[in-house]
Amino acid sequence: MKTYLTNQIKNVALLGNTGSGKTLLAESMMFEGKVIERKGTIEGKSTVSDYSEIEQQNQRSIFSTILYTEFLDHKLNIIDTPGSDDFVGAVISAMRPTDTVVMVVNSQYGVEVGTEIFNRHADQMHKPMVIAVNQLDQDKANFDSTVESLKQSLGKKVVLVQYPINPGTEFNAFIDVLVMKLYKFKGDTGIREDLPIPAEEMDRATELRNALIESAAENDESLMEKFFDQGTLSEEEIRKGMAVGLKNRNLFPVFCTSGKRNIGTKRLMDFIINVAPNPSESPMPKNDGNKEIKCDASAPTSLYFFKTSVESHIGEINYFRVMSGKVTEGMDLVNSNNDSKERIAQLFVVAGKNRNKVTEMVAGDIGATVKLKNTKTNHTLAVSALGGTKFESMTFPNSKFRTAIKAKSESDTEKMGELLNRAHQEDPTIIVEHSKELRQIILSGQGEHHLNILKWHLTNLHKIEVEFLPPRIPYRETITKIAAADYRHKKQSGGAGQFGEVHIVIEPHVEGAPAPKQYKIGGKEINISVRGTDEINLDWGGKLVFYNCIVGGAIDARFLPAILKGIMEKIEQGPLTGSYARDIRVAVYDGKMHPVDSNEISFRLAGRNAFKTAFKEAGPKIMEPVYEVEVLVPADRMGDVMSDLQNRRAIIMGMGSEKGFEIINARVPLAEMNKYSTALSSLTSGRATYNMKFAAYEQVPSDVQEKLLKAYEAEQEEE
C-alpha cells in the first residue's frame, strides 16, 4: 500500500444499535473500495469485521474491529463497533482515534436504545456525526418515521441530504439534494446511474435543499449573508457550511443506505472524504502539559495506543493512531507512561484479522504493531525530543455489574487470574480486584452479558470452568455508646501458667474529641489519666485510638503492645459479623499481673476478650456501603424504575430531566444493587442507563442487622 498523507486520510467509527447493519455496511465500504473482492455475510460468518468465533456464534459484533478501505485516492480507516451498552468500552475506544462517527440507524425501527446511548457518548466526546438510515431495502423500511424519531431524539440538527424514492424490497433509488440528482442502482452491484430529478419529485427535493442550505448557512456568518442576499448557495458553499456544522455537532446530515445491497455506500464515503474533518482538523486530546500536539506529519513523532488485542499464535497486537510526525519500520520510541524504550519492529495496516505490512505511516493514520514490551492501551510512544509527552487517558463509565468469580477447580485459580488480567488489558471496562477483605476475586463490568462473554471465553477457549457468585458486601462494624469490661485470662495447666487481666472502657471515636478524663458507668466513677496515645488510621477507613491509662504499674508497660495487638485482632474481624470495625477508642486503665505467669500471649488474649465483651455492650452496629446512583430513564418507564428503587431501600435525593430522559438521583445500599443493570434493563427494555459511585458507610436498619447476625452465626457454626 502506498503511504497516504494526512489530508488523504479520514477516520470514522461506525456506531449504532445491534442489528442496525454496521458490520455489513463496513463490508460494503471495503467492497466498494475494492479492498475485498467479495462481500461476506453475517449468516455465512464470513465478514471481515466479525472474525472471532464468539462473534460468529452470536452473529453480532462484540469487539471493535479496525478496518480500512481505499476510495477516491483516500484511505478511510473504519472502526466497526458492537451495538450493545455492555460493550461501551469498545465503542469509546473506537471513537477516540476517529474524527467522525457514522451513526447507523435501522430504517425498520428508527431510533433505538443503542442510537440514544452511543449518541450521548459521541456528544461527550464532541464527535461530528453523520447518520446513515440503513436497510432501506427491507420490507418494513420506513424512512419518514425513522427521520421523525431522529428529529425527536436529536432535534433540529437532523438534516436530510437524501431521501429514498422507493424504500422497501424494490429499493433502488434515492434523491440527493446536495448535488440535486437521482441516483439509481443496478441490482446489488453498487453501480449507479446519476439522473436528473424527475418532475414529480422536484417540489420535495427543492424544499429539502432549501432546508439543507439554511442549516449549512447557519454555521458561518459570511455564508449567512450570502444566503440572505442571493437566496441560495453553491454546492461548494453548502459543503463548507456543513463542514463547520458537522465539526460543532450543530448539524447531523442524513444519508440513505443499504449495506447489504451496496446502495448509497459510495456516496456516503464520498461525502465523508469531501466534507467530514481531516485528522488535522479535529481537536484531539491534549497532552499532559496541556499542549496541543499538532497532527502534522513534519512534526516529531508521537503515537497514542487506543486498543490492545491478543490473537492466538501472535500474542499482543497494539493499535495506535499516529498523533504527530511519521512512524517508520524499525523506529525507536520511548513510552512516556513508563519510560521504557520500544522499537517499532513492524508496522501494519489492519482489516480485521488481515494485516498488511507497510513501511511508514503519517500523522492521522491508524495502524498496528506487535512485540512491544511495556506498552498498553492509553499509553503514548514518542521520540525523546518530545520530552515525555503523553496523551490524556480515555475515561470509561463506572462498572454496572459486579460478581465474584471462582475457578471450579482450585488448580485453575492461577491461570484464571492471568487470563482475567489479560482480559483487562484488552478491555479496560473489565476490572479485576483480588479482595483480601471479601476473600473473593471481584469482577466488574458493564453488564451481566459483558461478563458472561468473558466466562464463555474462559470455558470454551481456555477450558477453565468458572462460577459466578454473589459478591460479599464489605460491611463495617462500630459502636454507639460507652461500655466497660474487665477480663482475666488465667490458665493453670501443669508447668508454666498464663495470667493477664485488663480493665478497659470503649466508646465511639469522634474526630477532634478531647482525651477522656473521667467515665461514669453504671454508677461507678472511673478516673482516667492518659499516659500514652496511639492513633491508628485503619486501612479500611476510620480510626482506632488506643489510650494507655495505666497508673501505679498495675500492668507492666511491656505488655501494652500485646493488649493493643489483641484488640486489633478483633478490629480486623469484628465481633458481630467478622467485618472490619472502625471509629472506636479504647482506654486501658487498670489490670493485674502475676509475677511468674504473666506473658505477652496472656495479655493479648485478655485484651482481645475484654474488647469483644465491651463491644457487645456498646450498642454495636453494622454499617453498610451506600452508593450514589444516577439513573437515566425514558419518561414512560419512570414509575416502574422508581418503585423498583424503593424496594431496594433507596432514598431518592432528586429528580430532573435531560435530553428526553428523566434523571433520578438516589442513595442505595450496595447490598441491594446486586444485578441491578440486568433488572433495570428488563424494566425498560434496555432503554435506561445508570451510573453509581461510593458515597458513605451508613448503619443498616435493625431488621437487616438481625438477618446479618443470624447469617454470620450460621456461617460460624458451619465452619
Ligand X SMILES: Nc1nc2c(ncn2[C@@H]2O[C@H](COP(=O)(O)OP(=O)(O)O)[C@@H](O)[C@H]2O)c(=O)[nH]1
Task: Provide the mask over 3-42, with x wherever binding to Mg ion is found by CB under 5 A and - wherever it is not.
Answer: -------------------xx-------------------
> Pick from Mg ion, ligand X, none: which does 218 bind, CB < 5 to 8 A by kind?
none
Shortest-Cβ-distance residue relative to ligand X? 21
Q: Least distance in Å: CB of 80 to Mg ion?
A: 6
Give the pairing of strands 331-335 and 380-382: antiparallel
Interacting positions 87-116 with ligand X (CB under 6 A): 104
Interacting positions 61-100 with Mg ion (CB under 5 A): 61
415-441 burial, b at 16+ Cβ within 10 Å, e below that, comes to: ebeebbebbbebbbbbbbeeeeeeebb
Cell 438516589 -> residue: 666
Interacting positions 130-159 with ligand X (CB under 6 A): 134-135, 137-138
Nearest 5°: CA angle at 316, between 327 and 457? Answer: 145
Q: Least distance in Å: CB of 58 to Mg ion?
A: 10
Interacting positions 304-363 with ligand X (CB under 6 A): none
Name the segment binding ligand X (CB under 6 A); options: 12-20, 143-151, 453-461, 487-495.
12-20
Complex with ligand X: residue 137 or 365, whichever CB lies closer = 137
Complex with ligand X: residue 107 or 403, whichever CB lies closer = 107
Q: At what angle do helices 221-230 and 235-247 cross, to 10 degrees?
A: 140
User: What is the C-alpha separation between 490 and 513, in angstroms, rounded?
Assistant: 36
> Pick from Mg ion, ligand X, none: which does 260 bind, CB < 5 to 8 A by kind?
ligand X
Complex with ligand X: residue 85 or 137, whichever CB lies closer = 137
What are the cell numbers at 367? Answer: 495502524
- Name the β-bridge partners of 110: none
Closest to 158 (Cα-Cα) out of 119, 108, 114: 119
Do 319 and 66 meet the contact criterion of CB atoms below 8 Å apart?
yes
In a 10 Å sphere around its CB, with 0-12 CB exposed, 13-18 middle and 19+ buried, how is residue 143 labelled?
Answer: buried
Name the segment binding Mg ion (CB under 5 A); options: 53-61, 116-124, 293-301, 400-408.
53-61
Q: In what order do the strands lie in the sheet containing 466-469? A: 431-435, 440-445, 401-407, 466-469
What are the cell numbers at 134? Answer: 440503513
Q: Least distance in Å: CB of 466 to Mg ion?
A: 27
Q: Least distance in Å: CB of 42 to ligand X?
A: 4
- Name the β-bridge partners of 380: 304
Do 376 and 427 meet the contact criterion of CB atoms below 8 Å apart?
no
Q: Least distance in Å: CB of 432 to ligand X?
A: 28
In a 10 Å sphere around its CB, with 0-12 CB exposed, 13-18 middle and 19+ buried, how is residue 139 labelled?
Answer: exposed
Complex with ligand X: residue 22 or 321, whichever CB lies closer = 22
Complex with ligand X: residue 171 or 603, whichever CB lies closer = 171
Complex with ligand X: residue 104 or 331, whichever CB lies closer = 104
Q: Return the number of other C-beta atoms located less than 10 Å from residue 675's C-beta.
A: 15
Interacting positions 226-265 with ligand X (CB under 6 A): 258-260
Per 3-state DSSP, the chain is made up of helix, strand and coil in percentages (nearest 5) of 30, 30, 35
In a 10 Å sphere around its CB, with 0-12 CB exposed, 13-18 middle and 19+ buried, how is residue 6 labelled?
Answer: buried
Complex with ligand X: residue 258 or 301, whichever CB lies closer = 258
> Pick from ligand X, Mg ion, none: which does 377 bind, CB < 5 to 8 A by kind?
none
- Name the β-bridge partners of 14: 80, 102
Q: Least distance in Å: CB of 680 to Mg ion?
A: 24
Q: How many residues does the chain have?
A: 719
Complex with Mg ion: residue 351 or 606, whichever CB lies closer = 351
Please work out the total of residues on this chain that contact Mg ion, with binding judged by CB under 5 A.
3
Name the segment binding ligand X (CB under 6 A); options: 16-24, 293-301, 479-487, 628-636.
16-24
Residue 78 sits at φ, ψ, to 5 deg, of -125, 130
> Pick from Mg ion, ligand X, none: which does 19 bind, CB < 5 to 8 A by kind?
ligand X
Do 529 and 515 meet the contact criterion of CB atoms below 8 Å apart?
no
Q: Least distance in Å: CB of 138 to ligand X?
A: 5
Q: Least distance in Å: CB of 16 to Mg ion?
A: 9
Do 133 and 143 meet the contact criterion of CB atoms below 8 Å apart?
yes
> Pick from Mg ion, ligand X, none: which does 135 bind, CB < 5 to 8 A by kind?
ligand X
Complex with Mg ion: residue 353 or 472, whichever CB lies closer = 353
- Residue 361's identity, in one-letter code, is M
Cβ within 8 Å of residue 135, ≥6 positions away:
20, 21, 106, 107, 108, 141, 258, 259, 260
Q: Least distance in Å: CB of 137 to ligand X?
A: 5
> Pick from ligand X, Mg ion, none: which does 574 bind, CB < 5 to 8 A by kind?
none
> Pick from Mg ion, ligand X, none: which does 309 bind, CB < 5 to 8 A by kind?
none
Give the pairing of strands 543-548 and 532-537: antiparallel
Task: Provide the mask over 27-56, with x wherever binding to ligand X is found by CB under 6 A and - wherever it is not.
Answer: ---------------x--------------
Do 161 and 246 meet the contact criterion of CB atoms below 8 Å apart?
no
Q: Least distance in Å: CB of 169 to ligand X?
A: 9
Complex with Mg ion: residue 47 or 278, whichever CB lies closer = 47
Complex with ligand X: residue 104 or 484, whichever CB lies closer = 104
Per DSSP, the residues of 190-221 read --EEEEPPPGGGHHHHHHHHHHHHHHHHTT-H
Cell 432514598 -> residue: 651
> Pick from Mg ion, ligand X, none: which does 16 bind, CB < 5 to 8 A by kind?
ligand X
Name the segment binding ligand X (CB under 6 A); options: 21-29, 177-185, 423-431, 625-633.
21-29
Do 630 and 591 meet the contact criterion of CB atoms below 8 Å apart?
no
Task: Provide the mask over 214-253, with x wherever binding to Mg ion is found by CB under 5 A and - wherever it is not.
Answer: ----------------------------------------
> Pick from Mg ion, ligand X, none: which does 21 bind, CB < 5 to 8 A by kind?
ligand X
Q: Least distance in Å: CB of 22 to Mg ion?
A: 5
Q: Identify the residue among 32, 33, 35, 83 touching ligand X (CB under 6 A).
A: 83
Complex with ligand X: residue 138 or 336, whichever CB lies closer = 138
> Pick from Mg ion, ligand X, none: which does 146 bind, CB < 5 to 8 A by kind?
none
User: What is the C-alpha separation between 609 and 567, in angstroms, rounded?
Assistant: 8
Q: Identify the residue among 6, 8, 11, 20 touching ligand X (CB under 6 A).
A: 20
Complex with Mg ion: residue 23 or 172, whichever CB lies closer = 23
Please work out the total of residues on this chain that contact ligand X, with binding judged by CB under 6 A.
20
Q: Least distance in Å: CB of 251 to Mg ion?
A: 26
DSSP one-letter code for 78: E
User: What is the C-alpha separation between 655 and 666, in angstroms, rounded?
Assistant: 9
SS3 376: coil
Complex with ligand X: residue 27 or 99, whichever CB lies closer = 27
What are the cell numbers at 571? Answer: 478490629
User: What is the C-alpha separation between 208 and 197, in angstroms, rounded?
Assistant: 13
User: What is the C-alpha separation between 572 and 565, in angstroms, rounded?
Assistant: 10
> Pick from Mg ion, ligand X, none: which does 516 bind, CB < 5 to 8 A by kind?
none
> Pick from ligand X, Mg ion, none: which does 609 bind, CB < 5 to 8 A by kind?
none
Per DSSP, the residues of 477-489 read EE--S-EEEEEEE
Complex with Mg ion: residue 62 or 238, whichever CB lies closer = 62
HSE (side-chain half, CA atoms, 13 Å) at 515: 16
| Site residues (vs Mg ion, CB under 5 A) | 22-23, 61
| Site residues (vs ligand X, CB under 6 A) | 16, 18-24, 42, 60-61, 83, 104, 134-135, 137-138, 258-260
